[in-house]
Each structure stands twice: as structure tokens, then as C-alpha cells.
Structure 1
Amino acid sequence: MMTTDDFSGPGPQLAAFTARLGFRLDPFQREACAALEAGQGVLVCAPTGAGKTIVGEFAVHLALAQGTKCFYTTPIKALSNQKYHDLVDVHGAANVGLLTGDNSINSGAPVVVMTTEVLRNMLYAESSSLQGLSHVVMDEVHFLADRFRGAVWEEVILGLDPSVRVASLSATVSNAEEFGDWITTVRGDTAVIVDEHRPVPLHQHMLVGNRMFELFDRKHPKQVNPELNRFIKHRLLSDDAVGGYRERLARERRRGGTGVSRPRLIRLLEENGLLPAITFIFSRKGCDGALAQCLRSDLNLLEPHQVSAVDAIVDRHLSALAPGDADVLGVDEWRDGLRRGFAAHHAGLLPTFRQAVEELFVEGLVQVVFATETLALGINMPARSVVLERLVKYNGEAHVDLTPGEYTQLTGRAGRRGIDVEGHAVVVWTPEVAPDRVAGLAGARTFPLRSSFAPEYNMAMNLIDRLGVDGSRDLLRRSFAQFQTDRSVVGQARQLDRARMTLRKVDAELEHSAERKGLAPESFLEYVSLREDIRRHERAAKFVRRMEASEAVSEDLLSLKPGNVIGLNNGRHRGLALVLERAAMDVDPKPLVLSEDGWTGRVGVRDFVNPPEVLGHLRIPKSANRRSAQGRRELVKLIRSSGIARPRGRNKKKRELSEHDLRLTELRNRLRKHPVHKLNGIDDLHRLSERRHRLLRDIDSLERAVDERTAALETEFDAITGVLTELSYLETDDSGELVVTPTGAVLRRIYSESDLLVAECIRAGIWDRLSPPDLAAVVSSMVYESRRDSYSGGVDSMPGDRALRESLLATVDVWQATNDVQERHGVVQTREPDTGFCVAIGAWASGRSLREALLAASERGQLLSPGDFVRWNRQVIDLLEQIRGSVDPDTGLAVAAARAVKGVKRGVVASELD
């Protein structure tokens, strides 16, 4: 790691760079820039707002000064767009380009801003644009921990030519040195520069009711403010206050809120001089609800002269929208909020709306923004304060607590450098949020970066095509994932060495003790081995008996028919029971029964020790309604008057001896005949043998763990290549090497979560004769994912023409066949095609209006926001372009894909791509 002692003064390019900045660089910025000018790569880890991007901008300056190229990569398109405009302002439009997959501006410029995926695709395609590349900036490089997209960052770092200098910019992580060691290993000389100083100090607060408290004690900065704890304790003791609060909170949460009055909250922030503020609410519905709450109030944060400035900026951003779209986009309500100084910011809004909000916020014309956490990622919108209403968010699968890293990322927005003396983080108190918990989040400094790298189909195809199988394996071994695994395995390897050393000592002690008692060590160990074999077979025999009993019960439950009367002898309900419904075919079949005490429910394997015996049969009257109390009483009367005898005991079925039972008999006979069996005074030997056995178990477990961890990536890679070989994307050439087939060339050009399924559908020809709108619709099923609050109907119920329905059904057939192959090779299966966007994009691609497209979706149960509509259209355009580029340009599929792109890329979608 570099220190200030390593810095001897600026080189000529750094001096020229700083001369035009108009402000002094911080020490960490000077160190990083000096390292770049000296020809090193750099990894810069610093807090949000510390000015890491200065280092990236110096890399751009160096490339231009040297007459070479610099690529500036970001994780999201919005950040790429923002960085593009920043660099154009400094270097001019002729010198800066933009590539984001769905947008291309001046791509041959010496400086090109792009999403990281675009650069990865260039590397795989061995693009001529890589010639003359000297520097790559990887902004937000800690994104490589993202479980969905993180592998892309490692692919780029590993795939760039060794001559390229990489400037990696990261949020503060606790294992920066480990990450830097890896980058140095794979890319050569890299300076690791860590700066934990925030240019603008951050103060932590909790808002309890109408009172704002500092979170930490001023006298003891690491302890929670005792006055805050006393106030909360007093509040909790007030039954009326807490009862009323909890009632209001429950009512608000049913409506998607948090029990917080946003107008009152904003007025409190204003009174304390804490505006402008960003309030993070972890749902779009919550953000929109907060905005609506403010619109219903008399809250107004702007002066009259500011309102005209808002209108001018809004009009400029809305100029590209079609007049007829204003109503469906809710422009009037959105503008009303902006003219009063507040707005929402989330992915459900049109990008045009979000960009307008960002500009107005930076200009001080929006004072409060209700945002989801996506705003925290790189967008230049610092505030004086950040408010967190809850410390729980939905991660796509479950509601989870915020991590210390996420808390730091969000609150890092507070404090505008050069404007604010200090920043403020405000957590709204609720009975579920203890101050100690907030203090733990705010005080934590451990945010380790963990690799999410894993081989996938497209990656495997491109690696094998470029590097061959051996080269691909070598790249996997050089990944950060393997680097971290190897380091963690070091600890397990040390444990393994210690266990083996201890085993040698125990063996020596055992041998010495046995010889003193006149025993051959081998004979005693043979005896111990017999005892262990007996224990193992006893466990196996017990398991077999349990499984056989379970299977017998399961078979009998499946055979029960309505009207059968069985006996219940286990659980709360005993006596006779009448079968009302058959069991479904399942691992645990559960027929519906009515017991003679009036209970109705399903009984399964766990309710029976022995298989259920049919004791008799009753005809269930058609008039009997088991769903009504009266109907059940009639059936109970029928059971009791049937005269069927109740079960008296448990009749066990005679079972055959298993191989484990037979082996046990043999082993027990051998044990009794063994010369050691009847010896006395050998307890110490038994204790040593028990210890030896535990050590052997530990050694075996550690060996397996080390083998599994060190080979995990290559095992996944082998499974994936197995799938690709079976499906003829790879084949073995004359020299015995795996090579990409002509069919595989298609898969190499498909960059999608469903890449294999897309390639299989192309090969099957099931999309060849579709009209452009229908092709757009079926391709949308490859990328679209229905939200939790939406319904995605089945393929059978899809409206539209016969060709589309048949193509969707054929696509599902291909998906099922592909998953069968993946299952055989132990590869995670491709997610099912989702038809939820088919109606909307089909209508849009056919030339229908935005209102008609959104209405068509809503009629099918899909709740699509305008922002989602544009976002999913963008993704479909991207995949259509990939499909078009992967097949012969003269084919019907390529022509239809081109026309589908043209049909989709219009109106509000086209304006968002410009």
C-alpha cells in the first residue's frame, strides 16, 4: 500500500491535470494519480463522496495526452450516461463516446464510457476497438460481489491485455489488501490506496416522534446517547402512546407506508436545517405513497421565483415525449410535486423523469427526494441529510436486515463536499428499531468483498473459443473467487496438518500401550474396526427399517379410497376415521379424513407407525356436505352407527431381513470370537481407539472440504461443458481437444441469463416465421420477470394469434428438454419463460399507443409502470440485436429481428435511448 512518504511530487501530466482543476487534490487522490503516471495500475478504496472519480478522470487525461485510448466502465447505464456528459463537458464531444448496449454515440472516440458488460463483450469478440487501449477505469468495482452480474468485472480484469493499466475505484471494503493482492497477481504492479476519511463529517441521529436525538453520546462517542434511551424507554412505558403508534403503524403498513407522516418529517428536517434530504424507502410503492402524502398536504418548499426555473427544466426534459403520452405518464401530478420541491426517484419512473429529478436536486430546486436504494449507486445526488425509515429491505427473495455496508453506502450520500460543513444520517425510530442496532450499523467498519464469479454457458463458449479448455481452466484458477478460496483453504490445510500429526502421536501411543499388554497393535485395531463396522451397519439397518416402514405407509395411504374406514392410533385423534378424498401422488400422500370425534384434516406418513388398515367401508351419501358443520355431524353419526370395530393394537407386518441385518449377524459372530473381545484391563486402549476414530473422521471431512473447495469452479465448468457437448455446441476435434462447433458460434453471441435456451430456440427454428411483433413478444419471455404484485398468465391462456401461441408453447417444450439435459449434468436449470410482458410489447411493436400497450398489460393482470415498460423494452431490443447478430443476416429471423427492433424503438422508448 502506498503512503504519503512514497509521493515525491507531481509528474508533468499530474501537474497539468491539477492546474485546470481549480482545487487541491487530497493526499489519496495525489498518490493514486502519481501511481498511474508512473505506469502502475491502482485500486482506490474510499468512502462515498470522497472524490474517487478524480483518479478515473486522470486516467482519461493520461490516455489523451499519450494519444491512446481510455475506456471508462460503470455498472449501470444511468451512471454511464452521467459520466459521458461530465467528460464531454471537459474534453468535448469529439473526444468522448458512449456505449451502453442500447445506445452508441461516437464509439470510435479515444475516450468511451460504457457499461462493464459492453467491455466484456468486446473482449470476447476480440473487437478492433481494443487496439490502442492503454487505460481502463472500473468505477464501482466492488460490484463484482453482485450475485447476478458480478462475474463480469472479473472476466474483464482477467481478459484485458497485460499492457492495459486498470484504475479500479471501490467503496470502502475491509479486505482491500486481499483484493489488491489478487489484482497484482493477475495484472501486475498495482498500488492499493485506502482512504477512510470522509471529507464531510457524518453525524448520526434518531428521530423519535417529534424529537431529534444524536445517536452517540458526545462524551463517549462509541456509546449510545443515554438521553435517547431514556426518552424511548419513557415512550414505551406509555401504553396509550405506544398503542396508538402501533395501531397507526399497522394501518399505514397495510397501505404500504411506515406510520411516518412525511410532511411532518420534512418540516422537522427544515426546522433543523437538514434540507435538502434523500429519504430512502425500500419499495416503489412506498416512494409513490410518500409523494402522494406530501401532495395531499399544504407542504411547499420553493419560492415563487424557483418555480419558473423548475418549469423550464421540466419542459426541456419532456420535449421529446409524444403529447398524447402525458396523461398516461402522470406528468401533471409529477410536475406538481416538483413545483413544490419534492419528488420520487425509482426504477418504475421513466428515465426522463429520473434525470429531471437528478438535475433539479443538484440545482437545489428539489429539496426532498423519496428514493429506493438504486439511487445510492454512483448517481451524483449528494444531500445535506439522508433519512432511513426502516432498516429492512426486500432483496428479491425475502425481507432482510440492512448490512453495515449497505447502511454506509446509503448514508454516504449525506454531506455535499464544498457546500456542507457536515452531513447527517437520520433513522426514524419505531418499536422494532433499537438504538443499539443502529449504532452497530453506523459503527461497523467490516465490509468484506466476496467474489460471485462462476462459469456460465456463454462464458465457457467464449473462453474455450479464445483459450481452449486448458486455457479456460487456467483463467478459472486465476479468478478472485479461486484466490479467496485458496486463502481460506490455507486455514483448513493447517487444521488437516495438525490432525494428521495428532493421529501419528495417537498411533504411537496406541502401539506402545498395546505392546505393554502383550497385544499386537494390528490385532487390536482389527477388533476396533469390527466394532466400528457393527455400529455403521446398525445405523444403516435402522435407516432401512425406517424407510421401509415409511414406504409401506405411503403405499397404503395412496391406495385408500373415499368411503374406506381406517383406524387412527397416533396423535390427538384416535379411533375410526372415514376417508373423504384420495391422496394426491406425492412424496408424502395425504388423504382427507373425518375422525369420529368430528375432526377433518389430511393425514400423512408421520401420522402412522404402521401402515393404515382398512377396517371397513361406508357409502358416503351424496347429500352429505363435509364443508358444513351439519354435514360433518351426519357423517360422524354414520361412522359411530356402522358397527365397524375400532383398532385394538398395532399389527406389525413381517419384514424380510436386509443385507445390513445379515451382515450384522456375521460381524457380531466375528466380534465374539475375536481374541481381544474377552480381555480385561484395556479401557485405555479403547479410549485411544475412540480418539483415533474421531481423528480419522475429522481428517476425512477436512480432506473432502479442501478437495471440494479447490475444485468447485472447475467442477462447475466441467458440468457446463458436458451440457454443451451433449447439445453439440462443443465437439472433440482430431487432436482430442474440445472446440466450438458452428452451432456454438450462435451461443457465443448471446449474452443473456437464458443464453442456452435462446440458442436452442434459434437452432430449433421455432421463431423463424414469426412476424416482428410476435418475435418481440416471444423474445420478451426470455428476459422479463414478473414482479411479486403482478400476475403472469400461462402460455395456454395467451391472447394473440395462433403463430405466437404455438411458438410460445414450442419455446416451453425446448425449455423443458434443455432442463432435462442440465439436470443430468448437475447444472442449475434455466428459469421458465415468463409471458407477462408479451401482451404489452406485442401491442407496442404493432404500433399501438403507450396507453393501449399499458392497458392491454393491465387487463392481463400485469401492473406495468412506465419506467418498467421502457426498461423491459430496452432489454428486449438488446436481445433482439444479439439474435440478429448471431445468425445469417439474410435469414427470415434476422430480418424479423431488425424490424422488431424498429417497431419497439419508437416514441417514449426511442426518446429514452437518445
Structure 2
Amino acid sequence: MTESESPIQSSAETETLSPSVAYADYKDRTKKAQTPLGRFSARMEFELDDFQLEACAQLQDGKDVLVTAPTGAGKTLIAEFAVELARDEGKRVFYTTPIKALSNQKFNDLMDVHGVENVGLLTGDTSIRRDAPIIVMTTEVLRNMLYNDVAGLSDLGFVVLDEVHYLADRFRGPVWEEVIIHLPDRVQMVSLSATVSNVEEFGAWLSEVRGPTTVVSTSHRPVPLVNHVLVGHRMYDLFTHHDSDRIDPALNHATRTHGGPRSKRERATRARFRRPSRTQVVSSLAEAGMLPAIMFIFSRNACDEAVEQYLSSGFDLNSREEKVIVNAALEKLRDELASEDLGILGFHSFREGLLLGVAAHHAGMIPQFKQLVEELFSQGIIKVVFATETLALGINMPARTVVLEKLVKFNGEAHVSITPGEYTQLTGRAGRRGIDQIGHAVVIWHPSFEVNEIAGLASNRSYALNSAFGPTYNMTANLLSRMSSAEAAKVLETSFAQFQADKAVVGLAKKVRKNEATIAAYEKSMKCDLGDFAEYARLRQAISDTEKQETRTKSKNRQREIVESLTALKIGDVVTLPTKRVEGAAVIIAPMSSRDGGSRLPTVLTEQGKVWHLRPHEVTAPLPAQGRVRVPKKFNHRQAGDRRQLLGILNDAIHEGKVDHEAHWESKPGSPGVSSSVTEMTAQLRAHPCHDCPDREMHARWANRAAKLVKENDSLIARIEGRTTSIALVFERVQDVLRTLGFDPEQSDMLRRIYGERDLLVALTIRAGLWDNLVEPELAAFASCFVFQSRRADTLHSERAPSRDLKVNGDEAVTMWRKLFQLEEQHALSTTQEPDRGLFKPMYRWTEGKNLADSLRGTDIAAGDFVRWAKQSLDLLGQVAEVAEPETAVRIRRTIEAIRRGVVADS
């Protein structure tokens, strides 16, 4: 404790108080200084914020706490105090995190404070000092312990749930709720969350299911955030300085000048507008003194490309002294990696980027690379990191500036706009506490979005936390092993999902009653003296719906034919493009490919000698091959000589009549024509008595309004029914599936120990003996198909199994999946994903002992992805070994040892 923080007041302070009051105040301050919180505060190099003091005081009084605060506000300090309390009381503490990378970081942080011997780590495939008083673990590990090792929790005093807002995650969120529901009441719980708008609702549920829980919430950022927009090469503030919600007029004027679609000339300007290059953005940030920065780019390939672009620019952000530090760190890393793997890992480009002060950070990189990037960035040696959004998930890696290249990302199914919550999470990295006066968030503007969109994201600083909870097969098996079905249903009814559903039903029912009254009024207004206008309106709507459906079907068929025609094109095929921008023939120089979840259309060399990357809106009709020419080996479209040579070959083919300009795409038979039902319904409509009503269109307007509200009400009623019964219904259906497959409670011991999105399918394959006849490389490959998820859907069946037994067993697993899939559809359950054999060959080769380059040869799997999937395969193999036949378990454990080597072990 410093002198200024002493419990004894200065003479200047005591002179203003009476002796009795001063003495009482002195005793109170002395008493507080001798508490755990007082001692903890005294060791801090800074004064604790009010929200930190309040949360720690509640913990000291024996209560659970829920803390919501912006990224970087200092939530983890409260978790550190919980660790101190546990140590003082001689109890154990579990620190849970949602991702392994964050677990590793917390593991190292806590060892630095409490000593190596006092801290353990459990992450499914990793177990270090599992009996230590402080254990860092993923939330899944704690969930598993609550089901299988309750006796081992007898001395547990505290549990920290870091990033608890993860319970909204569609796939992994239910684990958080399972932990909260099943954790013994005697254990104090510290829940740490990003800022959410319904924190009181979440806190009320925690109090109901856990007991008294104090909600401590703050929206204050220790380092204030200033939002900017980069338009071209000029930086503008998003909001005016005196009004944090009013868009800066200068920014509005700049974006109108660049992109406003008010006239033909301005539209042309908009079409020509280009974002500044990534290198130019870095240069602008450097000039403005806004480095170090994280630039979020929602594509792994684009992150790597950004580093390559920077390498070719000639810019250098590092001093000679910083390069010495980088080289030393790289030499240490190089010694840890196999020399033959350096090429496939991209070590040399990685090295060049670090020396210049830039790096990528994404899931496709091996953990060792990412960890070094994090360390060097935190030291200020790396000045710019090009990252995907996974960097925003809890990793302690603050920057002065965060840049968002776009406001749209690919979510695995479609390109969608980022949400205010995601914007808050990403920009939360901006501003280093104790270093920066302010943090900066920069959006790179483009005419494809409005400034108001950015303002909406920046001004909405929180988001609602909604439960993703639902009973899984594993959860159901574990519950039924300990209690009856009725008792288990009551446990599930304590979930946050049910809590939110029950609360929401009141508002939904009120809306239904209001709509019903309005519908009755509309029906009265549409009444027709000539006949039943409701019947007439339904006929009109049926015609409209049928015509729209036919139009959509035709459009889909046309689009499918376009994609099929593009997919069929190969290098050397000659086509005529259906676009005004490119005239004449063109030759394919790069075929259609798939990258980052989307398709990349073919690249062509036109008759005019231009290289053209086709865009979706430019291909409006199927593109048949009209001939074929020979493309020279080692053709490089960036070389003018190569382009001229291929252009000569193309022109010769055209003049020799080898290109058929009349060729056309043959549509497949079976495309629907105009439905006769539309003609029939139109005849019925015209014959209806209401058709001749002079007030027909006025009645129709009321009918349309009524129909719209009826549709809305049907949806609301379905939501009410679904909400009030969803958990119980799903639980019943899950039990039905388990009973149908012979997994009664007394026969479900195996299923209780298998965790994952394909838990029941894995249990089915174990019961069928599919693991028993496989040798080590086959076991590794077989395990991978239950955890692996291809980034491209077309690789599910593309991998040929490297052995006969593996092929047979893989096919049998798919057969089992089909039966399970059908059963799940019959019971209206979420369906299990098909086993994905895209990792068969790499896992087989790696377990045989081949190096990383040989293991990944012929695939498009990134090294970092392979390491991640290998670790998940190890996790599953460990589970299967616990329930498999003894001889199989021995082979599985040998398989685990064979996989855990090189980059997989070092990570």
C-alpha cells in the first residue's frame, strides 16, 4: 500500500472532522484495508474502478456476480480477485473460457502470478496438473465434469465463466446453460460478459436458478473511442465533437461527392470509386500516428494477400533494433518446427512480414504463428495485424486503432451485414489502457453502404443476449441416468431459453388479441353485397402466389444452368460473353473455383487482349464452349508476351472456323412451363360475382390488409405455441429417437461419455463395432470424419479412402447417418451433420508418420486448420477410448500418441 493509500488520513483531512468521527472513519478504513479486497487493492498499481470494487465486494460477501462491461474495461480483474478469495479460503477455483487459445493465455497469466505448480490446464485434448488448486479449462470440460465427476468438485469454491455471452452461440451456447444449471449452489459463480442490453433479464434468471446474484454493469470505456470513416485517402470523424450522435457534415458532404447517385455523372463517379489499397490505409494510419492497428478483413485468404501486398510495397515499419528482436523470436520458433514443414507453413513470408512490422492472424495459421503474432503485437513490435473476426474473441491484444475493411462478412451460408454487437466486439480492441488517451475505430467507406449504417452500428453499443439452449442426445442421456423423465423435464424448464420464452409469451398474446380486433374491422369494411369477397380475395392471392412461385422456379432453373455451364468450362475453352462490356470471343484462362465459401467465376482473355475476371451480374445466360484452343504451358496472364501469344492462337482459331459462334446451351428437359392452374383460377376469378362489383378494388385493399394481419397472427400463434412447449417437446422427441435406436437410460452409458455435434452418430458406430477392426492411421482418419467440417460443401464425398477397411467403415457410418437423419426429420429435430471424409487422407498420412507437407499434399486444407481438426480428433479419440472394447482402446491410445507430434504436439 502506498503512503497516499494509507488508512490513516492526513492531518488536513482530520482537521475538518470531530475527534470521534475521525476515529470512527480511521477504524473503518483500517478494517477495510485488512480485508481480502483491501489487500488485493493495495497490490494493484492503479486504483480500482467503481464497478470492479462493487463486484469484488459482493464476491467477498459470498454472493454470485454477473459483470457486463466493454472489452478492455477490466472485467478479468474481478476473476483474479475470485482466485485470491479461493486461495485465502483453501478452496479450488475453475477459470473457464470459450476457446482453447484464451485458455492457454489465462493459463500463462495465472502461472506468472501464482506459480507454475499452482495452476493447471484442461482443454479436452490437454491435461496439465489437473489436481492444482487453480484450473483453467474450456467450458465443455467443466460440463463433462459436472456429469461424470461430481465427487471431484467437493473442494471447489469458485467458478469463473469468462465470455458468458457465448451462451447465445448456436452450436456451443447450450454448454454454458448446462454448467449454470448443474453447478452446485455452494460454489460461487463469477459471470463475465460483454455489454448486453438485457442484462437485468439475464441476471433475474441467474438469481432464479442459482440464488442471489448481483448484477454489476458499466458501459464506460477506460479509453474513450472515437469513430472515423476513411473516404478515399482522407480521414473524417463519424460524429461531430459536440454531439456524439450527429454525423459530421463534412463526412456527409465527402460521401455525397464520391458516391451520391443523384445524376448520371455522379453514378459514373460512384461506379469508378475504389477503396484505398490496404498498403495505402496503413500509410494513412502511420501518418496520423494511429498505429499499432488491427485491420479486420473477413477472409483468411485476403488477410494473407494483405501481407503479400505490403511486402511488395517496400514500406517498413520497424527499426533495426526491433528487427533484432523479431529475428531472435523467429530463430527460437524455427528450432521448434520441422525444417521440411517450413515451406507449407509459409514460414518465409511470415518472417518477412514480421520483420517489416506486419502479420496476418486467422484460424488457418498454426497456433505457434498466431501466438508469436500476439506476443510481438503486445510488445509494440508488430504495428499492423490483418485479422479475421476470431481475433475479437477474448484474446488480450489491444491496439490504438481498429480498422474495418467492410461491413459485410460470410457467415458460412451467406454474406450478411455485421451486427451492432459484432461492431462493438471488434472495435473493443481499440485503445490500450495506460498507453492511449483515446482509441480509434476506422471504417473504410464505399458507395455500397450509407454513412447512416455506420452510425447505426457505432451508436448501438449493446445487443440482446438470447438463449440457444436445447436438449441434445448426450444431455438427455446424462439427465436420464440420474433422474426420471419428468424430473429431467423440470430441470430443462429452468433454462434461460424457457425463462425468456415464458416472459415473451405475454407480449405476443397481447399482440394477437390486438390483431384479431383489427382483422374483424377489416373484414367488416370489405363486405360485398354481390357475394363472398373473402373467397374472391383468396382466389386473387392464390393466382398471385402461383405466378410468383413459377417465376422463382424459372429464375432458379436459369441460374442453375448458368452455374452448370460455367462449371463445365475448362482452360482453353472459347466462349462469347453475354455482356456489353466485353465484345467478341474470349478464352478461359482460369476455371471457376470456390474460395471462402463463395464461388469465383472464370477468368478470360478477350479478343481485344484484355484479362477479365467475370462477375456474377455479367453472366446473364448459360455460357457454352464454342471451341477449344491450346493454352501454352506456364502461361502467365500478367506477362504481355504470354497474352499476345495466346491471343494469336485465339485469332487463328476464329479465322480457321474452329470457333462455332452459333453454339448454344442445351437446357435440360423437365423445366416447368406456364401452369394451367393459373389459367383455370383466372377463369374462376372472372366468373365470381364479386368480380363485377364497382367497389371491388376498395374491398380488395381491406382484404389485403386483413390477409396480411392473419398471416402475422398465424406466425405469432405458432411462436407462442413453440415457445411455451418448445423445450418439453424437443426433450420428448429426443427421447423418442433414443428409444427407437435402442438407447434406453440403462443402455446409454456409452452415449453419456461422447460429447460433440455428432454425439449419437459416434455412439452408434461404437456400438456397431466400426472402430474395432481399424489400425492406427485408419482410426485417426475415421475419428476425423466426426469432427471435421469442410469449408467447401463439395468435398464431403470427394476424398477416396486410403484403405479398404476405412472405406467400408466410412460408407457404413454414412448409411447410419442417413437412417438417423430420416428419424430426426420425422421427429422435427435439428439434424445431425453428415460424416465429412475430407480429412481422411491427411490424417491417415500424418498418423503414418509423414511430414506436414506430404500429409496435406493434394488438398486445400490450411496448416492451421489441420492442426485444429487434429486436436479435435484427439479429443474425440480420448472419449471413444473410455468406452471402447479393451483391445480397441489400446490401439486408440497408440493412435493418440502417433497424432500428437510435431506442430500438433507443439501447439
1:339-488 → structure 2 map (5 Å cutoff): 339-488=355-504
Distance 1:407 1:138, change over 3 A: same
| Aligned mates of 1:697, 1:278 — CA distance in 2 | 46
Deviates more, 1:432-441 or 1:404-413: 432-441
Equivalent position of 1:756 in the other structure: 760
CA contact (8 A) 1:384 1:424 kept: yes
CA contact (8 A) 1:133 1:164 kept: yes
Deviates more, 1:365-374 or 1:431-440: 431-440
Distance 1:242 1:304, change over 3 A: farther
**Pairwise CA RMSD of aligned residues?**
3.7
Deviates more, 1:167-176 or 1:129-138: 129-138
Task: Give the C-alpha shift of residue 397 in structure 1.
Answer: 0.8
Task: Give the C-alpha shift of residue 854 in structure 1.
Answer: 1.1
Specify which of 178, 185, 193 is matched with residue 155 of structure 1: 178
Specify which of 739, 747, 750 is matched with residue 746 of structure 1: 750
CA contact (8 A) 2:365 2:864 kept: yes
| Aligned mates of 1:234, 1:69 — CA distance in 2 | 62
Equivalent position of 2:816 in the other structure: 814
What per-residue deviation string (whole Å, max 9, x for no partner) do you get for residues 631-665 of structure 1? xxxxxxxxxxxxxxxxxxx9x9xxxxxxxxxxxxx
What per-residue deviation string (whole Å, max 9, x for no partner) do you get for residues 578-609 of structure 1? xxxxxxxxxxxxxxxxxxxx997567685255
Equivalent position of 2:47 in the other structure: 24
Counterpart code for 2:294: I
Equivalent position of 1:723 in the other structure: 737
CA contact (8 A) 2:402 2:427 kept: yes
CA contact (8 A) 1:728 1:741 kept: no
Deviates more, 1:8-17 or 1:215-224: 8-17
Task: Give the C-alpha shift of residue 903 in structure 1.
Answer: 1.3
Equivalent position of 2:892 in the other structure: 897
| Aligned mates of 1:224, 1:444 — CA distance in 2 | 14
Task: Give the C-alpha shift of residue 763 in structure 1.
Answer: 1.0
| Aligned mates of 2:357, 2:537 — CA distance in 1 | 75
1:75-94 → structure 2 map (5 Å cutoff): 75-94=98-117
Equivalent position of 1:272 in the other structure: 288
Equivalent position of 2:787 in the other structure: 783
Specify which of 780, 795, 811 is matched with residue 792 of structure 1: 795
CA contact (8 A) 1:144 1:452 kept: yes
SS at match of 2:167: helix
Equivalent position of 1:876 in the other structure: 873
Establish whether residue 607 from structure 1 lines up as the match of residue 673 from structure 2: yes
SS at match of 1:766: coil
Equivalent position of 1:843 in the other structure: 845
What per-residue deviation string (whole Å, max 9, x for no partner) do you get for residues 457-506 of structure 1? 11111111123312221121110011111110121344567799999x99
**How many residues matched?**
736
| Aligned mates of 2:665, 2:375 — CA distance in 1 | 65
SS at match of 2:728: helix
Equivalent position of 1:290 in the other structure: 306
What per-residue deviation string (whole Å, max 9, x for no partner) do you get for residues 96-151 of structure 1? 11111111111101110100000001111134331111111001000111111101
CA contact (8 A) 1:10 1:34 kept: no
Identify unmatched segments of 5+ residues in structure 2: 1-28, 525-530, 551-663, 681-704
Equivalent position of 1:852 in the other structure: 854
Task: Give the C-alpha shift of residue 241 in structure 1.
Answer: 10
| Aligned mates of 1:698, 1:219 — CA distance in 2 | 43
CA contact (8 A) 2:259 2:273 kept: no
Equivalent position of 1:116 in the other structure: 139
Task: Give the C-alpha shift of residue 532 in structure 1.
Answer: 9.8
Task: Give the C-alpha shift of residue 208 in structure 1.
Answer: 1.3
Task: Give the C-alpha shift of residue 820 in structure 1.
Answer: 2.8
| Aligned mates of 1:360, 1:775 — CA distance in 2 | 39
Task: Give the C-alpha shift of residue 817 in structure 1.
Answer: 2.1
SS at match of 1:379: coil
SS at match of 2:236: strand
Establish whether residue 97 from structure 1 lines up as the match of residue 94 from structure 2: no
Task: Give the C-alpha shift of residue 778 in structure 1.
Answer: 1.6
What per-residue deviation string (whole Å, max 9, x for no partner) do you get for residues 499-539 of structure 1? 99999x99xxx9xxxxxxxxxxxxxxxxxxxx999969998
Distance 1:355 1:244, change over 3 A: farther
| Aligned mates of 1:343, 1:831 — CA distance in 2 | 35
| Aligned mates of 2:340, 2:229 — CA distance in 1 | 46
Specify which of 755, 765, 769 is matched with residue 765 of structure 1: 769
What per-residue deviation string (whole Å, max 9, x for no partner) do you get for residues 348-379 of structure 1? 11100000000001111101100000111110
Task: Give the C-alpha shift of residue 826 in structure 1.
Answer: 2.4
CA contact (8 A) 1:844 1:850 kept: yes
Specify which of 223, 226, 238 is matched with residue 215 of structure 1: 238
* Percent identity of paired positions between Structure 1 and Structure 2: 47
1:692-711 → structure 2 map (5 Å cutoff): 705-711=719-725
Equivalent position of 2:317 in the other structure: 301
Distance 1:220 1:697, change over 3 A: closer
| Aligned mates of 1:378, 1:282 — CA distance in 2 | 18
CA contact (8 A) 1:32 1:55 kept: yes
| Aligned mates of 1:358, 1:239 — CA distance in 2 | 48
Task: Give the C-alpha shift of residue 726 in structure 1.
Answer: 0.9
CA contact (8 A) 1:280 1:387 kept: yes
Deviates more, 1:261-270 or 1:21-30: 261-270
| Aligned mates of 2:39, 2:359 — CA distance in 1 | 41
Task: Give the C-alpha shift of residue 176 in structure 1.
Answer: 0.5
| Aligned mates of 1:829, 1:812 — CA distance in 2 | 14
| Aligned mates of 2:665, 2:905 — CA distance in 1 | 63
| Aligned mates of 2:353, 2:458 — CA distance in 1 | 32
What per-residue deviation string (whole Å, max 9, x for no partner) do you get for residues 769-795 of structure 1? 01110111122111111113x852627
Equivalent position of 2:3 in the other structure: none
Equivalent position of 1:735 in the other structure: none
Specify which of 168, 175, 182 is matched with residue 205 of structure 2: 182
Specify which of 705, 712, 715 is matched with residue 726 of structure 2: 712
Counterpart code for 1:810: E
Counterpart code for 2:101: A
CA contact (8 A) 1:108 1:129 kept: no
What per-residue deviation string (whole Å, max 9, x for no partner) do you get for residues 784-841 of structure 1? 11113x852627x614221111111111111122223323322232211111100100
SS at match of 1:51: coil
| Aligned mates of 1:702, 1:369 — CA distance in 2 | 46
SS at match of 2:433: coil
1:457-536 → structure 2 map (5 Å cutoff): 457-495=473-511
SS at match of 1:204: strand
Task: Give the C-alpha shift of residue 904 in structure 1.
Answer: 0.9
CA contact (8 A) 2:224 2:439 kept: yes
CA contact (8 A) 2:498 2:727 kept: yes
| Aligned mates of 2:675, 2:443 — CA distance in 1 | 55
| Aligned mates of 1:608, 1:211 — CA distance in 2 | 55
| Aligned mates of 2:479, 2:201 — CA distance in 1 | 26
What per-residue deviation string (whole Å, max 9, x for no partner) do you get for residues 655-683 of structure 1? xxxxxxxxxxxxxxxxxxxxxxxxxxxxx
Establish whether residue 316 from structure 1 lines up as the match of residue 316 from structure 2: no
| Aligned mates of 1:499, 1:228 — CA distance in 2 | 43
| Aligned mates of 1:791, 1:496 — CA distance in 2 | 44
Deviates more, 1:764-773 or 1:873-882: 764-773
| Aligned mates of 2:141, 2:89 — CA distance in 1 | 24
Equivalent position of 2:902 in the other structure: 907
Equivalent position of 2:600 in the other structure: none
1:615-626 → structure 2 map (5 Å cutoff): none
Deviates more, 1:281-290 or 1:319-328: 319-328
Counterpart code for 1:719: R
Distance 1:243 1:68, change over 3 A: same
Distance 1:83 1:239, change over 3 A: farther
- TM-score by length of structure 2 reads 0.75
Distance 1:600 1:186, change over 3 A: same
SS at match of 2:785: helix
